Amino acid sequence: APAARHVPAARHVPSAPSAAATSRAPLPAPHHGRLWPLAALSAERLATGDLVAAAKWGTGSPIDDPVRERQVLDAVAEQARQLGADPGATVRVFRDQIEASKIVQRGLHRRWAADPAQAPTVRPDLNEVRKEINRINTALVRALAASPQARSAPSCRPLLAVAAARVRHERHLDALHTVALARSLRSVCATPA
Ligand SMILES: C=C(O[C@@H]1C=C(C(=O)O)C=C[C@H]1O)C(=O)O
């Protein structure tokens, strides 16, 4: 039939894709590969919560610092924009990251108040710890910007749960940090729970 000449051959023969058709085909998304850095970086960020808790312990400085939180959220929104990522989704994840850090800090302060022998004897410099947090924040924004498909896929929740479990074992997280890790990852998946 003459009309058939105008139809690309590859459409007629899907079982024999040309090299061009193969390169056009979307690669299977390495979803778990995109999600586990989010769990790993979240755990790394939570570990800084221990240092922040120690920096604030015995100083009278409150755990909640709304001015610093605003700076963090504004900075990550701007970084997301520069990467062409969704600033709203990025901010949602970081609100959870901040809540999770405060869960760790409150938990440790409770622990240290109940058993002063466990309290830290050296006080880290909060400004230095925040520089480290800023580095982790930037890495986390990049990991979020690299993972929109993995985060909107139906597989996001199970794969993220597997990644979090792996991180928990690798880092030997205690109950407090395990709860905080789950809190930190609450908004990572775009799909309903
Ligand atoms: C980590 C800190 O404690 C809290 C948690 C924050 C965060 O996770 O970025 C920011 C401010 C504080 O409310 C801090 O003071 O730096």
Which atom number of ligand 1 is nearest to the Cα of residue 130?
16
Query: Domain tally for the chain?
Result: 1
- The pLDDT value recorded for residue 4 is 42
Domain containing residue 172: CATH number = 1.20.59.10
Range of the domain at 134: 64-193
Calculate mean pLDDT across residues 44-51. Answer: 98
Residue where the block lists tokens 């230095």: 128
Domain assignment present for residue 178? The answer is: yes
**Selection from 62, 145, 144 nearest residue 97 by Cα:** 144
Domain assignment present for residue 183? The answer is: yes
Which string of DSSP letters, residue by residue, matches 139-157? HHHHHHHT-HHHHHSTTHH
CA torsion through residues 139, 191, 175, 57, sign: positive
Hey, which of 46, 61, 69 would you mutate to test ligand 1's pocket, going by the most ligand atoms within 8 Å of its Cβ?
69
- The pLDDT value recorded for residue 193 is 64
- The pLDDT value recorded for residue 7 is 41
Domain assignment present for residue 31? The answer is: no
Q: Which of 12-26, 48-62, 96-110, 121-135 has the lowest mean pLDDT?
A: 12-26
Calculate mean pLDDT across residues 79-85. Answer: 98
Which atom number of ligand 1 is nearest to the Cα of residue 129?
16
Which atom number of ligand 1 is nearest to the Cα of residue 66?
13
Ligand 1: residues with CB < 6 A are 52, 63-65, 68-69, 72, 97-98, 101-102, 130, 133
pTM of the full structure: 0.85
Domain assignment present for residue 136? The answer is: yes
Domain assignment present for residue 175? The answer is: yes
Amino acid in the structure at residue 117: A
Domain assignment present for residue 56? The answer is: no
Is the confidence at residue 3, as pLDDT, over 50? no
